[in-house]
Each structure stands twice: as C-alpha cells, then as structure tokens.
Chain A
Amino acid sequence: DQQVKQNSPSLSVQEGRISILNCDYTNSMFDYFLWYKKYPAEGPTFLISISSIKDKNEDGRFTVFLNKSAKHLSLHIVPSQPGDSAVYFCAASVNYGQNFVFGPGTRLSVLP
C-alpha cells in the first residue's frame, strides 16, 4: 500500500540548474508533509516542511509546493550544488502526527 509515491528513483541535474523532485500521495487525510535528505551511512536530515493550509514554503535554495487537489508536492532546489547529491524522501502524516509515511526516495545526482 503505497500511500506516498516518488515515481522517479533517480534524477541527474547539472550544477547551477534547478532540481525538481516530485511526490504524490493517495491519502487525502495527510495534512503535514516533509522532505528529508539522506547521505550514505547517515540518518535522514530534515530539509523543509509544509502544512496543508499552505501551498508553498521557501527556505533558502529549497522551496516546497503543495497541490492538494492533485495530491502532489514537489521540492525545488535552485541552484543545485554537488553537495545536494543525496537521496531525498518525501514524508506525510495525518493530524500533524508523528506516524510519518515515507516515500521510497529519489536519488539526486548533481553533476559539476
């Protein structure tokens, strides 16, 4: 039961260009969404969040967009840097709870 989907297992982008990572969900009760970044041999690191009352949240080079009607969110990284190369997980919860459902991840490679 894949409630949170990240349909692109990998993505390659040139340094300085925009990276767009996509996430789709099926559970309309999700109201809180997060993006995590994970380097090899490390635990996930929080990047940015968005609640269902907003459609956009921005933090430096990272912007998350939420389209509730399409049950879709995306993470934009601009400009992309080689240090952004990692696996990116989308996660969601109901009632701002702690039981996060994670997507399978997208491996981003930023090429110099």
Chain B
Amino acid sequence: EPEVTQTPSHQVTQMGQEVILRCVPISNHLYFYWYRQILGQKVEFLVSFYNNEISEKSEIFDDQFSVERPDGSNFTLKIRSTKLEDSAMYFCASSDGQGGETQYFGPGTRLLVL
C-alpha cells in the first residue's frame, strides 16, 4: 500500500538554526499538507499546498516557515530560525482530493530545539 514517508524521524537542532523537514507524498497525490503536534497538545494545521502554491495556511505559519516542492517527489517544510517553541512532532500529509478524508499522514518528524 502506498504511504507518505518523512525524513528524518528525529532531529535535534540549536535555537536559531534553520531546519528542513522532508516528506515524500504518495506519488499520484496533488495536495500536500503540514501539521504539527506539540507534546501533550492537539494536532495543528500549518499549511496546505496545491499546484505549486500555498492554498491555505494557519496563523502559526508565519514568515519563519516556508514550503517547497523542489522536484516531482519531495515536499519540504523549512523553519528559518528555530525557536524553542518549535519543538514538536511535524506531520506531512497528502491527498488526491480536497476532502480531509482523503489525507494520508506520514509517521512524523520529531523536532527538538535546544
């Protein structure tokens, strides 16, 4: 069964450093998403991406965040200057339609900012 993959599974970084989280969505999917879950808190929507541009974003997704689909397979989330509060599990998801029921989530990348 096709699945969304994410790398790395864990990343530790120093505050102020840039990190890039990588995702390989399911190959025929057209919509891509990033979510995060701070430890002990709820899953939060960050951004959705379609046709090489952001289609929706939340208030969390400020100027320090950016997304990119650099080639036909990868979808990345960049955090330019990490803060302690960026420590969270980051989930990528992809879908072939716009409905939430079609979203397939990856296993997540646990980011720890020191």
| B42 x A102 contact (CB < 8 A) | yes
Min C-beta distance of A22 to chain B, whole Å: 15
Are the C-beta atoms of A89 and B100 separated by less than 8 Å?
no
Contact across chains for B100 and A46 when beta carbons are under 8 A apart = yes
CB distance from B41 to the nearest CB of A (A): 7
A-B contact count (CB 8 A): 64
- Bound Cα distance A49, B103 (Å): 12
B75 within 8 A of A: no
In the complex, the answer to whether B55 meets A42 with C-beta atoms within 8 Å is no
CB <8 Å contact, B93 and A43:
yes
Q: B100 touching A34 by the CB < 8 A rule?
A: yes
How far is A75 from B17 in the complex, measured between Cα atoms in Å?
A: 42
Do A49 and B4 have beta carbons less than 8 Å apart? Answer: no
What chain B residues lie within 8 Å of A36 (beta carbons)?
43
Contact A43 B4 (CB under 8 A): yes
Residues of A within 8 A of B44 (CB): 102
Q: Contacts A43-B105, A98-B48; is A103 near B100 (CB within 8 Å)?
A: no
Known pairs A98-B48, A99-B48, A102-B44; A45 contacts B56 (CB<8 A): no
Interface residues of B (CB under 8 A from A): 4, 31, 33, 41-45, 48, 55-58, 91, 93, 98-108
Q: Which residues of A contact B (CB under 8 A)?
A: 4, 32, 34, 36, 41-46, 48-49, 89, 91, 93, 96-105
Other contacts beyond A32-B100, A102-B42: 13, CB < 8 A? A32-B99, A34-B100, A36-B43, A42-B107, A43-B4, A49-B100, A91-B43, A91-B100, A97-B56, A98-B31, A98-B33, A99-B57, A100-B45
